[in-house]
Amino acid sequence: AQRVTQPEKLLSVFKGAPVELKCNYSYSGSPELFWYVQYSRQRLQLLLRHISRESIKGFTADLNKGETSFHLKKPFAQEEDSAMYYCALRRSNDYKLSFGAGTTVTVRA
């Protein structure tokens, strides 16, 4: 069975500092990896997916199949990045997502 691990429950950084949220997965096939974000009082929404290889709101994430990781990074954190972030995995030929436990990010001024 697939599993998604986010080792940090809480992450606190200063504005302008780099931020990295860790995500590791276990799955024997070729997964699709995603980051979803939930800002305060807003609904959960897709932030980015690995296959698009794009930067969203300054965030990037690279799928490392050797290390089975999909860490989310931003070089200069902003206060509006404070949110709950979930890493998620979709197995090939499946519709369901498996989510990690989530990381709460607080960006301090």
Partner 1 sequence: DVKVTQSSRYLVKRTGEKVFLECVQDMDHENMFWYRQDPGLGLRLIYFSYDVKMKEKGDIPEGYSVSREKKERFSLILESASTNQTSMYLCASSLSQAGVGTDTQYFGPGTRLTVL
Q: Is 57 in the site for partner 1 (CB under 8 A)?
A: no
Quote the least distance from Cβ 74 to partner 1, whole Å.
Answer: 21
User: How many whole angstroms separate alpha carbon 109 and alpha carbon 99?
Assistant: 30
Q: Is 40 in the site for partner 1 (CB under 8 A)?
A: no
Closest CA to 100 of 78, 73, 70: 70
Q: Is 94 in the site for partner 1 (CB under 8 A)?
A: yes
**HSE toward the beta carbon, residue 34, CA cutoff 13 A:** 16
User: How many whole angstroms separate alpha carbon 33 and alpha carbon 98?
Assistant: 10
User: How many whole angstroms separate alpha carbon 6 and alpha carbon 25?
Assistant: 9
Say how many residues touch partner 1, by CB under 8 A. Answer: 24
60 to 89, contacts with partner 1 by CB under 8 A?
86
Q: Which is nearer to partner 1, 19 or 86 (CB)?
A: 86
Quote the least distance from Cβ 75 to partner 1, whole Å.
Answer: 26
Quote the least distance from Cβ 31 to partner 1, whole Å.
Answer: 12
